[in-house]
Amino acid sequence: MQLLDGLALSKTIKAEIRNDVDEMIKQGERPPHLVAVLVGNDGASQTYVNNKIKSCRECGFESTLIKKDHATTEDELIRLIKRLNVDDSVDGFIVQLPLPKHIDANKVLLTINPEKDVDGFTPQNFGLMALGLPSYKPATPYGILKLIQRNNIDPTGKRCVVVGRSNIVGKPIGIMLGQNKSIGNCTVTILNSHTQNIEKYTREADILIVAIGQPKMIKADMVKEGAIVIDVGITRVSDDSTKGYHLEGDVDFEDVAPKTSSITPVPGGVGPMTVTMLLYNTLLARKKVVQIV
C-alpha cells in the first residue's frame, strides 16, 4: 500500500513556486499578490484562510486578508469584489466559502473577474475547464490530478467512481479525469445522495474519490482490492482532547487502507494540495500565462 502524501508533495511544489518567485524578484518584478476575503466568524473557514496566508509567506507572495463581519450585506461584498476586480496590484483573490446565509454565493461568484478567479469557481473558468481550454482549474481537483501525476499513477482506461457531485470537487474532478489528456481518459461515474446501492458502484472502482462530507462512510467491504482511494472529506469530530475535536475523512482509513494499492491520509492528503494549487494558479495569474477568453 502506497501512501499518497499530499503534505510532502505540497512542500515540493511550493519550493518550485518559491524558486519562480525568487527569480521574478531578481528580475525586478513584484511578487504575486493574493487577496483572501473572509466574511463572518466560521472557525473552519478562518483556519483555512490562515493556512493560505501562511503558505503565501512560504512562497514569497504578497498576501492580504480582508475580514468582514457576519452582518456585511451582499451589496457591500459585491462592491468590494468589484474594487478587487480592477485593482492592478492584485493578481488573484478568493472569497472564502461558505458565506453567511443572507448572501447569495452564486451572485458573488458571477461578480468575480475570471482573470483573477484563482479558485476556478466562476462559470467562465468552469466552462473553459470542461471544454479542455485554458482556465484556472478548481484547486482541489487540480490538487488531486497533481497527486496522481507526481505519484506516477496512470489513470488511462481505469474506472473512476466519484462519490459526491459538488461544483467544487465532484463535478470538476469527474470532468477532468474523463478528458482526453495524459492525466485522464478514465471511465467516470459520479454518485450522489440519491444513488441506490452505492457499494455496487464503489466496489467496481479502480480509482475511488470520496467527497461527500460523511466521516468514515467508506468501509473496506465497499472497496475493490487494489483500488486507488482518494479521500477529500475532512470533518471536525468532537472528542475529549485539549482541542475538543479531531479530523476525520470520508474513508475509514484503518479499515480501508490495507485493501488499497494507494490511499490519501486525512489530514495530510488532499488538503495541503488544495492550498498549493491555489498558489500555483496565482503564480500563473501573475505571469499571465493562462489566457481567459
52 is catalytic: yes
Q: What is the mean pLDDT of the chain?
A: 96
pLDDT for position 12: 98
Which residues, in sequence order, are bridge partners of residue 162?
190, 209
**pLDDT, average across residues 150-169:** 97
Would you say the CATH fold of 139-271 matches that of 14-116?
A: yes
Q: What is the pLDDT of residues 76-102, one digit of tens each?
A: 999 999 999 999 999 999 999 999 999
CB burial of residue 77 (10 Å; 0-12, 13-18, 19+): buried
Is domain 139-271 annotated with CATH 3.40.50.720?
A: yes
Cα(25)–Cα(17) distance, integer angstroms:
12
Is 70 exceeded by the pLDDT of residue 240? yes
96 is catalytic: yes
Q: Which of 52, 137, 171, 216 is catalytic?
A: 52
Domain 14-116, CATH class in plain words: alpha beta
Is 90 exceeded by the pLDDT of residue 255? yes
Is 80 exceeded by the pLDDT of residue 45? yes
| pLDDT-derived band at 225, boundaries 50, 70, 90 | very high
pTM comes to 0.94
Is 80 exceeded by the pLDDT of residue 291? no
Domain ranges of the chain: 14-116, 139-271
Is 90 exceeded by the pLDDT of residue 42? no
Q: What is the pLDDT of residues 18-31, one digit of tens each?
A: 999 999 999 999 99
pLDDT for position 104: 97
Is 70 exceeded by the pLDDT of residue 32? yes
pLDDT for position 292: 76
231 is catalytic: no
Q: Cα dist. 280→34, 143, 215 in Å?
A: 11, 10, 29
Q: Which of 14, 91, 117, 119 is catalytic?
A: 119
Is 70 exceeded by the pLDDT of residue 109? yes
Is 70 exceeded by the pLDDT of residue 293? no
Q: Which of 14, 96, 224, 252 is catalytic?
A: 96
